Amino acid sequence: MSEPVESRDWSTTTTADLSLITRIIPHRYPFLLIDKVRDIELNKGAVGIKNVTFNEPHFQGHFPGAPIMPGVTIIEAMAQTSGVLIGLSLDLVDKNPLVYFMSIDKAKFRRKVVPGDVLELGVTVLRGSTKIWKMEGRATVNGEMAAEAEFMAMIDLGQKG
């Protein structure tokens, strides 16, 4: 028998550390791409932080001798930041939601992201409901635009296993 989940009001939460992130989204190593989420405004926006290190598995092949974070992983990091924001907005902590991409639009890549960079992943809600969310994301390094995109996702609370 599982222990009852502690009920909590998340409406005043403005940051999420790794412990809270993993209670909201299912991603784990090697695919957990955010280290922290800050500036959380429920149903509005948040900023994810990704400390880019050479130890990440994608750098072995992208590219040997010239490591560059793949653009799709930057967009995935934006989506994971959005997942944390949505999870807190819908009170999904410890409820094991899955979030699926529905679309990615207007993706643009402006700057290489390399080991040693601190990637800031600003996400803004364009539309949100119980199941479908449309977001805008902007990834920056030291205030310089690295990538941007709009994306839509579906929240699935169905039984897994």
Catalytic: 62? yes
From 23, 36, 38, 62, the catalytic residue = 62
| Under 8 Å between Cβ of 83 and 25 | yes
- How far is the C-alpha of 156 from the C-alpha of 140, rounded, in Å? 29
Strand ranges in the chain using DSSP code E only, listed in sequence order = 36-41, 45-51, 98-109, 118-128, 132-141, 144-156
Both structure tokens of 153 = 């996702």
Contact by Cβ (8 Å): 102, 112 = no
- Token digits for 131? 């199941």
Active site residues: 62
